[in-house]
Structure 1
Amino acid sequence: MTDRPTDRDHDFDRALTRGLLSRRTMLAGIGGAGLASLLAACGTKGTATKADPSSQAAADRSDTEKVLSWSNWPEYIDVNDDTQAHPTLDAFSKQTGIKVTYTEDYNDNDEFFAKVQPQLRAGADTGRDLWCSTDWMVAKLIRLNWVQELDKANIPNAKNVQDTLADVEFDPGRKFSLPWQSGFTGIGYNPKATGGKKIETFEQLLTDKALKGKVTLLTEMRDTVGMALLAMGKDPAKFTDADFDAAIAQLAEAKESGQLKGFTGNEYGKGLASGDIAACLAWTGDVVQLKADNPSLGYTLPSTGHLIWSDNFVIPNKAKHKKNAEILINYFYDPKVMAQVVGYVNYISVVKGAEDILVAEDPDVANNPLIFPSEEVLGRAHVFRGLTEEEETKYNKAFQALTTGG
Structure 2
Amino acid sequence: MKKLVVALVTLGLVIAGLLVWNHQLMAKQSAGATGSKTLVIYNWGDYIDPSLIKKFEKQTGYKVDYETFDSNEAMLTKIQQGGTRYDLVVPSEYTVQRMQKEHLLRKLDHRQLPNLKYLAPRFLNQSFDPGNQYSVPYFWGTLGIVYNDKLVAHPLKHWEQLWDPQYRNQVMVYDSARDMMAIALITQGHSVNTTNYGELQAAERKLQGLSQNTRAVVADEMKMYLKQDEAAIGIAYSGDAAEMMDVNPHLHYVVPTEGSNIWFDNFVIPKSAKNLKGAYAFMNFMLEPKNAAQNADYVGYATPNQAARKYLPKAVTHNQAFYPDAQTMKHLEVYRDLPKKVNQEYNDLFLEFKMFVK
Superposed pair shares fold, TM > 0.5 = yes
1:72 aligns with 2:44: yes
On the 8 A contact 1:214/1:276 being kept in 2, the answer is: no
TM alignment of 1:148-297, pairs within 5 A: 148-152=106-110, 154-192=112-150, 194=151, 198-208=155-165, 210-212=167-169, 214-219=171-176, 221-236=177-192, 240-255=196-211, 257=212, 259-264=214-219, 266-297=220-251
In 1, the alpha carbon distance for the partners of 2:68 and 2:254 equals 26
On the 8 A contact 1:187/1:301 being kept in 2, the answer is: yes
On the 8 A contact 2:193/2:338 being kept in 1, the answer is: no
AA of the residue aligned to 1:169 = S
Q: Are the structure 2 counterparts of residues 131 and 279 from structure 1 closer, same or farther at C-alpha, using a change threshold of 3 Å?
A: farther
In 2, the alpha carbon distance for the partners of 1:251 and 1:260 equals 14
Q: Are the structure 2 counterparts of residues 165 and 395 from structure 1 closer, same or farther at C-alpha, using a change threshold of 3 Å?
A: same
TM-score (norm 2): 0.75
In 2, the alpha carbon distance for the partners of 1:182 and 1:70 equals 18
Once the two structures are TM-superposed, the CA of residue 288 in structure 1 deviates from its matched residue by: 1.8
AA of the residue aligned to 2:181 = V
Larger Rg: 2
Q: Which runs of 5+ in 1 are unaligned?
A: 1-57, 79-85
On the 8 A contact 2:128/2:336 being kept in 1, the answer is: no
On the 8 A contact 1:211/1:279 being kept in 2, the answer is: no
In 1, the alpha carbon distance for the partners of 2:347 and 2:115 equals 37
Matched position secondary structure for 2:264: strand
Q: Are the structure 2 counterparts of residues 122 and 382 from structure 1 closer, same or farther at C-alpha, using a change threshold of 3 Å?
A: closer
Q: CA RMSD in A?
A: 3.5
1:96 aligns with 2:60: yes
Once the two structures are TM-superposed, the CA of residue 244 in structure 1 deviates from its matched residue by: 1.8
Q: What is the aligned residue count? A: 327
On the 8 A contact 1:188/1:298 being kept in 2, the answer is: yes
Percent identity, aligned pairs only, is: 27
AA of the residue aligned to 2:95 = M
Q: Which runs of 5+ in 2 are unaligned?
A: 1-29
Matched position secondary structure for 2:189: coil
- Aligned twin of 1:395: 346
Matched position secondary structure for 2:210: helix
Q: Are the structure 2 counterparts of residues 240 and 59 from structure 1 closer, same or farther at C-alpha, using a change threshold of 3 Å?
A: farther
Matched position secondary structure for 1:184: strand
Q: Are the structure 2 counterparts of residues 159 and 400 from structure 1 closer, same or farther at C-alpha, using a change threshold of 3 Å?
A: farther
Indicate the structure whose relative CO is greater, using CA pairs within 8 Å and at least 6 residues apart: 1
In 2, the alpha carbon distance for the partners of 1:403 and 1:100 equals 41
In 2, the alpha carbon distance for the partners of 1:195 and 1:188 equals 11
> Any idea what the Cα deviations from partners look like across 1:104-131, whole Å, max 9, x if unmatched?
533x433x34xx51x4343221x64433
